[in-house]
Every structure is written in C-alpha cells, then in structure tokens.
Amino acid sequence: MAGLNFRDYNNMFTKEQLQHTRAKWLDQYFSPDDYTGWPFNLETWSQQQIQHAVYEAEGFLEWQEFRVSMKGCTTHEKLYMLDRWLFVKGRTSWLQKCRVDNYIGALVRGGQLGITLAVQR
C-alpha cells in the first residue's frame, strides 16, 4: 500500500463496505442542529505526522475506509461522524486527533467550514 495517496483509496472499498461503515458511524441519534460547527480546537501537525497518521500508522486502512464513507454526507453529518470517531477511538490519542484535525482542515480549505469552524455549506 506504500505510495498510495488519498485519491487511490476512493475506489478501494466496495459500495457495500462504505454503506456499512457510514451506517456504523451515522446513527439515529444524529441531529444536524447539534453540529453547526466543530467544537474542538485544531492542533498544528507537521506534514510528516499527517502522512504517518493517515497512510502508515496502525489502523490507517480503517481510517481511509471511514474517510471515504463520508463522501456524499452533509457537513453536519461529517462533523457528527468525526466527533463519534474521536469519542470511540480516543480523544487523547495524537494519532486520531491528527487524522481528524487534518480532515477538518480539508473542510475549511474546501469552504464547507469557515475559519471559525462554523458550517458554511
């Protein structure tokens, strides 16, 4: 799997796998009103830390499947799923925090979240 980038993972998982993953993390307790922005501070990570966390570290393939499963979700749904991921995987784990912070940063760069981390679209 060495040498793959984030786009390479977009077609790695079956539709059924992604539906199952999405259903696991996006459940009946979701309410878009509860996720109007990201409530946690973002940390600054080096490119080396990010690369290691999302492409090499233990559990990276599970993270990639989770990340890809969020395609097509609303920003509110993504925030809910990311919050649950951190809750289950460990809010104090630098690895999980790095992965999520990197994803949140991508939402900001893509205009889905503003610089205050409030949902824009």
From first to last of the 121 residues of the chain, give the pLDDT tens digit: 556 676 778 788 989 999 999 999 998 889 988 999 999 999 999 999 999 999 999 999 999 999 999 999 999 999 999 999 999 999 999 999 999 999 999 999 999 999 999 999 8
What is the reported pTM? 0.92
Q: 65 in a domain, yes or no? A: yes
Q: 76 in a domain, yes or no? A: yes
Q: 9 in a domain, yes or no? A: no
Q: 1 in a domain, yes or no? A: no
State the total domains in the chain.
Answer: 1
Q: Write out the two tokens for 34.
A: 């509860």
Q: 30 in a domain, yes or no? A: no
φ, ψ for residue 26 (rounded to 5)? -115, 100
Q: 46 in a domain, yes or no? A: yes
